[in-house]
Amino acid sequence: MMRKIIIAGNWKMYKTQSEASEFLMEFIAQIDDAPEDREVVLCVPFTDLAIVSKSLHGNRIRLGAQNVHWEESGAFTGEISASMLTEVGVRYAIVGHSERRQYFGETDETVNLRLKAAQASGLIPILCVGETKQQRDAGQTEQIIINQIKNGLIGVAQDKLVIAYEPIWAIGTGETCESAEANRVIGVIRDQLTNPNVTIQYGGSVKPSNISEIMAQSQIDGVLVGGASLAAADFAGIVNYQ
Protein backbone atom coordinates (compact mmCIF):
# COMPACT_ATOMS: atom_id res chain seq x y z
CA MET A 1 0.00 0.00 0.00
CA MET A 2 1.36 3.38 -1.04
CA ARG A 3 -0.78 5.61 1.18
CA LYS A 4 1.22 7.73 3.57
CA ILE A 5 0.17 7.99 7.22
CA ILE A 6 -0.06 11.65 8.28
CA ILE A 7 -0.74 12.75 11.83
CA ALA A 8 -1.43 16.49 11.79
CA GLY A 9 -2.12 18.95 14.58
CA ASN A 10 -4.26 22.04 13.97
CA TRP A 11 -3.57 24.62 16.65
CA LYS A 12 -6.30 26.96 15.36
CA MET A 13 -6.00 30.38 17.08
CA TYR A 14 -3.96 29.11 20.00
CA LYS A 15 -0.36 29.65 21.16
CA THR A 16 1.89 32.70 21.13
CA GLN A 17 5.49 32.24 19.99
CA SER A 18 6.70 31.58 23.51
CA GLU A 19 3.96 29.02 24.10
CA ALA A 20 4.84 27.38 20.78
CA SER A 21 8.52 27.08 21.76
CA GLU A 22 7.62 25.62 25.12
CA PHE A 23 5.36 23.05 23.45
CA LEU A 24 8.05 22.00 20.98
CA MET A 25 10.69 21.44 23.65
CA GLU A 26 8.40 19.04 25.45
CA PHE A 27 6.86 17.45 22.34
CA ILE A 28 10.04 16.70 20.38
CA ALA A 29 11.50 14.82 23.35
CA GLN A 30 8.42 12.62 23.48
CA ILE A 31 8.28 11.55 19.83
CA ASP A 32 11.89 10.41 19.44
CA ASP A 33 10.84 6.77 19.22
CA ALA A 34 7.74 7.21 17.09
CA PRO A 35 7.63 4.63 14.27
CA GLU A 36 9.06 5.84 10.94
CA ASP A 37 5.88 4.97 9.03
CA ARG A 38 4.14 8.22 9.95
CA GLU A 39 4.60 11.86 9.04
CA VAL A 40 3.97 14.43 11.77
CA VAL A 41 2.65 17.87 10.78
CA LEU A 42 1.97 20.93 12.93
CA CYS A 43 -0.40 23.54 11.45
CA VAL A 44 0.25 26.61 13.56
CA PRO A 45 -0.90 30.27 13.52
CA PHE A 46 0.93 32.50 11.03
CA THR A 47 2.83 34.34 13.77
CA ASP A 48 4.30 31.03 15.01
CA LEU A 49 5.48 29.76 11.62
CA ALA A 50 8.96 31.29 11.59
CA ILE A 51 9.88 30.27 15.12
CA VAL A 52 8.47 26.77 14.78
CA SER A 53 10.27 26.40 11.44
CA LYS A 54 13.62 27.13 13.14
CA SER A 55 12.98 24.70 15.96
CA LEU A 56 12.13 21.91 13.50
CA HIS A 57 15.51 21.78 11.82
CA GLY A 58 16.93 18.32 12.14
CA ASN A 59 13.80 16.51 13.19
CA ARG A 60 10.90 14.86 11.49
CA ILE A 61 8.09 17.31 12.09
CA ARG A 62 6.70 19.13 9.02
CA LEU A 63 5.34 22.64 9.18
CA GLY A 64 1.79 23.49 8.13
CA ALA A 65 -0.31 26.66 7.82
CA GLN A 66 -4.06 26.95 8.39
CA ASN A 67 -4.98 28.81 5.23
CA VAL A 68 -3.50 30.17 1.99
CA HIS A 69 -4.74 32.77 -0.49
CA TRP A 70 -4.93 32.15 -4.24
CA GLU A 71 -3.16 35.30 -5.40
CA GLU A 72 0.60 35.66 -5.26
CA SER A 73 0.34 39.16 -3.73
CA GLY A 74 -2.06 42.08 -3.78
CA ALA A 75 -4.56 44.17 -1.85
CA PHE A 76 -6.05 41.35 0.22
CA THR A 77 -5.88 42.58 3.80
CA GLY A 78 -5.56 39.77 6.31
CA GLU A 79 -4.64 37.07 3.77
CA ILE A 80 -1.34 35.24 3.18
CA SER A 81 0.15 33.89 -0.06
CA ALA A 82 1.69 30.51 -0.78
CA SER A 83 5.16 31.93 -1.45
CA MET A 84 5.10 33.75 1.91
CA LEU A 85 4.50 30.35 3.48
CA THR A 86 7.01 28.30 1.51
CA GLU A 87 9.76 30.85 2.22
CA VAL A 88 9.52 30.12 5.94
CA GLY A 89 9.55 26.37 5.38
CA VAL A 90 5.85 25.54 5.27
CA ARG A 91 5.03 22.24 3.48
CA TYR A 92 1.31 21.80 4.16
CA ALA A 93 -1.70 24.13 4.30
CA ILE A 94 -5.17 23.36 5.63
CA VAL A 95 -7.80 24.52 3.12
CA GLY A 96 -11.55 24.77 3.69
CA HIS A 97 -11.64 23.92 7.38
CA SER A 98 -15.27 23.96 8.54
CA GLU A 99 -14.54 26.93 10.82
CA ARG A 100 -13.43 28.91 7.74
CA ARG A 101 -16.53 27.77 5.85
CA GLN A 102 -18.88 28.57 8.77
CA TYR A 103 -17.45 31.83 10.09
CA PHE A 104 -15.45 33.35 7.24
CA GLY A 105 -17.56 32.71 4.16
CA GLU A 106 -15.33 30.07 2.59
CA THR A 107 -17.11 28.29 -0.27
CA ASP A 108 -16.27 25.34 -2.51
CA GLU A 109 -15.24 27.92 -5.14
CA THR A 110 -12.74 29.74 -2.90
CA VAL A 111 -11.56 26.39 -1.54
CA ASN A 112 -10.88 25.30 -5.12
CA LEU A 113 -8.86 28.47 -5.86
CA ARG A 114 -6.82 28.03 -2.68
CA LEU A 115 -6.10 24.37 -3.43
CA LYS A 116 -4.77 25.17 -6.90
CA ALA A 117 -2.61 28.05 -5.68
CA ALA A 118 -1.18 25.94 -2.86
CA GLN A 119 -0.21 23.15 -5.27
CA ALA A 120 1.24 25.58 -7.82
CA SER A 121 3.70 26.75 -5.14
CA GLY A 122 4.63 23.26 -3.99
CA LEU A 123 2.51 23.24 -0.84
CA ILE A 124 0.48 20.13 -0.07
CA PRO A 125 -3.07 21.23 0.75
CA ILE A 126 -5.13 19.39 3.36
CA LEU A 127 -8.69 19.75 2.05
CA CYS A 128 -11.28 19.53 4.83
CA VAL A 129 -14.80 18.29 4.16
CA GLY A 130 -17.63 17.40 6.52
CA GLU A 131 -21.35 17.57 7.18
CA THR A 132 -23.31 19.35 9.92
CA LYS A 133 -25.50 17.51 12.43
CA GLN A 134 -28.67 18.66 10.62
CA GLN A 135 -27.35 17.42 7.29
CA ARG A 136 -26.45 14.07 8.85
CA ASP A 137 -29.86 13.75 10.52
CA ALA A 138 -31.53 14.58 7.21
CA GLY A 139 -29.65 11.74 5.50
CA GLN A 140 -27.61 14.14 3.34
CA THR A 141 -24.11 13.19 4.50
CA GLU A 142 -22.96 11.43 1.32
CA GLN A 143 -24.37 14.08 -1.02
CA ILE A 144 -22.81 16.95 0.95
CA ILE A 145 -19.41 15.25 1.05
CA ILE A 146 -19.50 14.27 -2.62
CA ASN A 147 -20.38 17.86 -3.61
CA GLN A 148 -17.58 19.31 -1.48
CA ILE A 149 -15.11 16.87 -3.02
CA LYS A 150 -16.30 17.27 -6.62
CA ASN A 151 -16.53 21.09 -6.55
CA GLY A 152 -13.41 21.55 -4.43
CA LEU A 153 -11.25 19.37 -6.63
CA ILE A 154 -12.08 20.77 -10.09
CA GLY A 155 -8.72 21.06 -11.85
CA VAL A 156 -6.80 20.02 -8.71
CA ALA A 157 -4.00 17.44 -9.01
CA GLN A 158 -4.48 14.38 -6.81
CA ASP A 159 -0.85 13.43 -6.37
CA LYS A 160 0.02 16.24 -3.95
CA LEU A 161 -3.15 16.30 -1.91
CA VAL A 162 -4.40 15.26 1.50
CA ILE A 163 -8.09 15.13 2.42
CA ALA A 164 -9.52 15.29 5.93
CA TYR A 165 -13.03 14.07 6.68
CA GLU A 166 -14.18 16.13 9.64
CA PRO A 167 -17.86 15.76 10.57
CA ILE A 168 -18.65 19.20 11.97
CA TRP A 169 -20.69 17.81 14.88
CA ALA A 170 -17.61 15.89 16.06
CA ILE A 171 -15.23 18.88 16.08
CA GLY A 172 -14.33 20.18 19.52
CA THR A 173 -17.34 18.44 21.04
CA GLY A 174 -15.74 15.36 22.55
CA GLU A 175 -18.20 13.41 20.41
CA THR A 176 -16.13 11.27 18.03
CA CYS A 177 -17.74 9.82 14.94
CA GLU A 178 -17.88 6.02 15.33
CA SER A 179 -14.70 4.82 13.68
CA ALA A 180 -16.58 2.34 11.46
CA GLU A 181 -18.81 5.18 10.24
CA ALA A 182 -15.81 7.47 9.63
CA ASN A 183 -14.26 4.61 7.69
CA ARG A 184 -17.41 4.21 5.60
CA VAL A 185 -17.62 7.92 4.69
CA ILE A 186 -13.91 8.01 3.88
CA GLY A 187 -14.55 5.07 1.55
CA VAL A 188 -17.22 7.20 -0.18
CA ILE A 189 -14.65 10.00 -0.55
CA ARG A 190 -12.09 7.59 -1.95
CA ASP A 191 -14.61 6.41 -4.54
CA GLN A 192 -14.73 9.97 -5.92
CA LEU A 193 -10.96 10.11 -6.52
CA THR A 194 -8.93 9.00 -9.51
CA ASN A 195 -5.73 8.51 -7.49
CA PRO A 196 -6.07 5.55 -5.09
CA ASN A 197 -3.06 6.71 -3.05
CA VAL A 198 -4.45 9.96 -1.63
CA THR A 199 -4.03 10.10 2.16
CA ILE A 200 -7.44 10.63 3.76
CA GLN A 201 -7.52 11.63 7.41
CA TYR A 202 -10.28 11.61 10.00
CA GLY A 203 -10.73 14.65 12.25
CA GLY A 204 -13.04 15.38 15.16
CA SER A 205 -12.28 14.81 18.85
CA VAL A 206 -9.29 12.56 18.20
CA LYS A 207 -7.43 11.81 21.45
CA PRO A 208 -4.82 9.39 22.79
CA SER A 209 -7.61 7.09 23.98
CA ASN A 210 -9.28 6.65 20.57
CA ILE A 211 -6.38 6.96 18.11
CA SER A 212 -5.59 3.24 17.90
CA GLU A 213 -9.15 2.31 17.07
CA ILE A 214 -9.37 5.06 14.44
CA MET A 215 -6.06 4.10 12.81
CA ALA A 216 -7.08 0.42 12.74
CA GLN A 217 -9.74 1.29 10.11
CA SER A 218 -8.82 0.23 6.60
CA GLN A 219 -9.68 3.52 4.84
CA ILE A 220 -8.26 5.93 7.44
CA ASP A 221 -4.69 7.06 6.75
CA GLY A 222 -4.18 9.59 9.50
CA VAL A 223 -5.81 12.21 11.66
CA LEU A 224 -6.25 15.97 11.90
CA VAL A 225 -6.23 16.87 15.57
CA GLY A 226 -7.44 20.14 17.11
CA GLY A 227 -7.79 20.32 20.90
CA ALA A 228 -5.57 17.33 21.67
CA SER A 229 -2.68 18.79 19.63
CA LEU A 230 -2.30 21.69 22.07
CA ALA A 231 -0.83 19.68 24.94
CA ALA A 232 2.54 18.06 24.17
CA ALA A 233 1.78 14.86 26.10
CA ASP A 234 -1.59 14.36 24.38
CA PHE A 235 -0.31 14.98 20.88
CA ALA A 236 2.72 12.77 21.51
CA GLY A 237 0.33 10.08 22.76
CA ILE A 238 -1.49 10.32 19.42
CA VAL A 239 1.68 10.37 17.29
CA ASN A 240 3.07 7.34 19.16
CA TYR A 241 -0.07 5.23 18.69
CA GLN A 242 0.48 1.49 18.22
By CB under 6 A, tell whether 129 contacts ligand PGA: no
With contact defined as beta carbons under 8 Å apart, do 67 and 16 qualify?
A: no
Per CB under 6 A, contacts with ligand PGA among 169-198 are 171-172
Q: Using the rule CB under 6 A, give the single segment among 27-35, 63-71, 108-116, 222-230 that binds ligand PGA.
A: 222-230
Cα of 64 vs its chain's centroid, Å: 9
Min dist CB 236 to ligand PGA, Å, is 15
Closer to ligand PGA by CB, 152 or 203: give it.
203
Closer to ligand PGA by CB, 74 or 103: give it.
103
**Maximum Cα interatomic distance, the chain, rounded to a whole number of Å:** 49
Residues that bind ligand PGA (rule: CB under 6 A) add up to a total of 13
Check if 36 is active-site: no
User: How many Å apart are CA 168 and CA 136, to the nearest integer?
Assistant: 10
By CB under 6 A, tell whether 234 contacts ligand PGA: no
Closer to ligand PGA by CB, 124 or 224: give it.
224
Min dist CB 30 to ligand PGA, Å, is 19
Per CB under 6 A, contacts with ligand PGA among 8-47 are 10
User: How many Å apart are CA 162 and CA 92, to the nearest integer?
Assistant: 9
Per CB under 6 A, contacts with ligand PGA among 62-121 are none
Check if 57 is active-site: no
**Residue 25 CB coordination number (10 Å):** 10
Binding mask 201-220 for ligand PGA (x = CB under 6 A): --xxxx--------------
CA distances from 87 to 80, 83, 91, 121, 162 (A): 12, 6, 10, 10, 21
Min dist CB 129 to ligand PGA, Å, is 12
With contact defined as beta carbons under 8 Å apart, do 79 and 49 qualify?
A: no
By CB under 6 A, tell whether 226 contacts ligand PGA: yes
Active-site pick, 39, 97, 99, 131? 97
Residues forming contacts to ligand PGA in the complex (CB under 6 A) are 10, 166, 171-172, 203-206, 224-228
Residues assigned a catalytic role: 97, 166
